Amino acid sequence: MSSILKIKGVSKTFGGFTALSNVSLEIAQGERFGLIGPNGSGKTTLINCVSGALRNEAGSIEFDGEDVTRLPAYQRTRRGIARSFQVPRPFHSMTVAENLTVPLEYIAHKGSLHVADTHAEALDLLRQMKLADKADTPSRNLSQVELRKLELARAMAARPRLLISDEAMAGLSGSEVEEVLEILLALNAKGITIIMIEHIMQAVMRFSQRVVCLDAGRIICEGAPAEIVKNAEVQRAYLGA
Amino acid sequence: MKFWIGAALVLALGVGLPFLPINEYVFYAGYVVLTFVVLATAWNILGGYAGYVNFGPPAFFGIGSYAAVVLFKSLNAPLVVQIAGAALMGGLLGLGVGAMTLRLRGIFFAIATVAITFILETLMVNWRYVGGATGLQLLRPPVELYASYTRMLFAVMVAMSVGAVAIARYIQTSWLGRGLRSLRDSEEAAEASGVPTLKLKLFACAVSGGLMGAAGAPMPMYLSFIEPASTFNLSYTVGSLGGAIIGGMAHWAGPIVGAILLGTLQQVVTVTISNEMNVLVVGVLLVVFVVAAPEGILGLARKVFRR
């Protein structure tokens, strides 16, 4: 399988703190990839570097054969890297449907001015996320699980080829986790590569084909989910055996 | 379509009214009120839509006034050229301010815009050509068509207001406005949704600054005089912010309602009570609206009619 994302020797420091040191990773086209690690291990920093919210000091990031290391975030989104945020960041002055029209307008329909079309498309996406009944609700009135779904729906509206889900299930109940998991699996079935960052181990284990564990900005282990849970270092650093 | 019919009516009224034998004072005061309509509308493009609070309207207004004076003194340029030059200078200053948004947000951005006002004022105080601190007396060229220069300026300001509102309305209702709203709510999420936030902010700053500069252009001729302290006066900040906040920042009509109300009230209080009292009135109104009706008169009206 060909790689859609190549992370080569990426390092990122904040002042004297090293958040990522020399991280290299390849994600295959269509893969379901899990990223785990304790709090502060650099998971979100890594995906911030991939999505362009942060610039890495060393190393390069290649998406679909193109070096995107120096591109601003919006350019990367337009090329097909979309993400959800760990702490939901809805456009709170807009309704749920309007939240989706922003990426639809700026990416899918760039240059055309047919707001009506984007609205129909937004509704379609919301239906897939089982959020259609909330289309005209102001996004500030949503519940936690609805906000998480909105994050994913808005990321999907950018028509990504790589979707990064940053703790989309944190703080959700068992049945809600199940719901989000199903959504992600369905998206992957459509050919979208997915990187899942998650603390809920059952979800990561069920979802991922391959898992990487970060600790203090380094990759300490990589492998199939079953191997990961047995790995001594992962148990020490993260699972707490 | 309805908007354009309304705009044409206002324009016709504004151009026609000064021909009628109405007391000169109406146009004298009306001009000031209309100036605040343009300022509040322009301010709202950056402050309301994009959420960047600009405390520096006097800087933009002042750079426009001085650009007009320089053009008038050096080239004897007609008013239209003065306005165009002022808009250009305001727009350029806007681009500079827009670049600051890269690093400064919230209160820090606001403070920086105040600083720019002081810097520009100091520069003008020390520039002999435009009169320095003592100011410069200007001789109005003769007017054709209208009975007085003030009447002509009133018509010009009506046209400018209609233009400013049309621009603000276009921005608000187009993809530009939705992009600005998204970055006001969350810049990171906007970027992640494919919105080029820096470009949009630069655009909003330039348009907002250009309109404020244009609003300042006729002022020296209106007063037949220019000097730095009144040109870079913070009352322009209060007028622009106040108009937008009192009227409502979410909709293009808000700043019009707010600026007309506030401007008229200020004129009335200045004439009937005193100039000091007018500052107090504005202050009290601002506090009341920020606390009781943060969405302005328009937001209040929407709530009432929904009930």
Q: Which helix (H) or strand (E) is B166 found in, with range?
A: helix B149-173
Residue burial A171-181, b: 16+ Cβ < 10 Å; e: rest: ebeeebbebbb
Distance of CA B119 to the CA centre of its chain: 20
- Note the CATH number of domain A3-89+161-239: 3.40.50.300
Interval A130-151 mean pLDDT? 88
Q: Distance between CA B79 and CA A5 in Å, rounded?
A: 58
Residues recorded for chain A = 241
Letter for the amino acid at A222? Answer: E
Q: Does B101 score more than 80 pLDDT?
A: no
Asked whether the beta carbons of residue A154 and residue B250 sit closer than 8 angstroms, the reply is no
Letter for the amino acid at B201? Answer: K
- Nearest chain B Cα to A111, which residue? B175
Q: Does A79 score more than 60 pLDDT?
A: yes
DSSP annotation of B147 reads S
| Whole-structure pTM value | 0.89
Interval B191-213 mean pLDDT? 94
- pLDDT bracket for residue A115 (50, 70, 90): low
Asked if A28 contacts A18 with a C-beta cutoff of 8 angstroms, the reply is: no
A110 vs B contacts (CB less than 8 Å): 194
DSSP annotation of A138 reads B
Q: Residue A32 forms beta bridges with which residues?
A: A194
Q: Distance between CA B296 and CA A138 in Å, rounded?
A: 19
Q: Which of residues 37-96 of A touch B (CB under 8 A)?
A: 51-53, 72-74, 77-78, 82-83, 85, 89-94
Interval B43-63 mean pLDDT? 93
Q: Distance between CA A102 and CA B28 in Å, rounded?
A: 45
DSSP annotation of A167 reads S
To test the contact with chain A by mutation, choose from B193, B199, B306 the residue with the greatest count of A C-beta atoms within 10 A, namely B193
pLDDT at A180: 87
Percent of chain B with pLDDT over 70: 100
Asked whether the beta carbons of residue A77 and residue B191 sit closer than 8 angstroms, the reply is yes
**Sheet of strand A32-36, all strands in order from the earlier edge strand to the far edge:** A81-83, A162-166, A193-197, A32-36, A210-215, A218-223
pLDDT at A230: 82
Residue range A54-73, pLDDT digits in tens:
999 899 999 998 999 999 99
Asked whether the beta carbons of residue A91 and residue B191 sit closer than 8 angstroms, the reply is no
Q: Which of B187, B255, B212 is nearest to B86 (CA)?
A: B212
pLDDT at A116: 62
Longest dimension (CA), chain A: 57
What number is the ipTM of this complex?
Answer: 0.87
**Alpha carbon of B256 to those of B39, B285, B299: distances in Å?**
10, 16, 14
